[in-house]
Amino acid sequence: MIANVHSHSRWCRHGRGTLEEYVKEGLRCGLEEMAVCEHVASERPMGPRMTWGEMPAFLAEADDVILRYGDQISLFKALECEYFPEEMNRFANLRDHQNVKLWILGQHESADHRYDYFAMQDRDRETWQYTEDVIAALNTGFFQLLAHPDVIMVNYEQPTPLLLECMDRIFAECERRDVAVEINANGLRRSVGYPNAQIWNLSKRYKLTTIISSDAHDPRNLVDGAVRQAEQLAAEWGIAVTSKLTF
């Protein structure tokens, strides 16, 4: 790994470390490029997040580390967010006026706020809804990267025919919209079912830009054994991985 675009710090309330600690760790590990990344703010009880009131302080801290370390490593701002239609104007304002370059789609909750995709109650219905949410988000043209597309494997022991059909639709849409996809090392770190071999072998039907992201929640995990395992799995699965995203 020479670049990482997806990680989480103390700002998200379920991560550790300052943005500067992440950048210093990236330098120590020999990274050439990093996103100064966080979950976008939320006012909803969907899990630990910074609030919109805290967003200016996060952005100021991100700008500060980019200014101080940008001559040593390529740095840019990134935000991971769910597709919530009512928030898209806020997202666009951050993109256009705060120079947030990379927008990562990570759908953990349904766009209508009815379902938690980490704890499905009606698996088939919610798997289908996850697929519809992701495709609707991709069709906005706003997002450049789909994080952990197979995240709903947390609800499965093995992929079902329905799940594989849904993943096939998502990968097809990523190809059509030229949205990159992510093999997520944090799923390996947590041993929660993703990344999944069957799903990623399915992805080879399509011409996709695939990256490996650490999704670290502690600077010490930025480039760790889970990242190296993800690299090994991608090689075993015959998936070409790009080292850096282009914008």
CATH 3.40.50.2000 assigned to domain 3-237? The reply is: no
pLDDT (tens digit, 9 = 90+) per residue, 215-228?
999 999 999 999 99
pLDDT > 90 in the chain, percent:
93
Nearest partner of 64 among 20, 111, 113, judged by Cα: 20
Q: For 85-110, what is each residue's pLDDT tens digit?
A: 999 999 999 999 999 999 999 999 99
Contact (CB, 8 A) for 199 and 170: no
> What is the pTM (predicted TM-score) of this model?
0.96
Q: How confident is the model at residue 168 (pLDDT cuts 50, 70, 90)?
A: very high
Q: pLDDT tens digits, residue range 9-25?
A: 999 888 899 999 999 99
The secondary structure element, H or E, covering residue 231 is helix 225-237
Give the phi and the psi of residue 146 in degrees, each rounded to 5. Answer: -100, 110
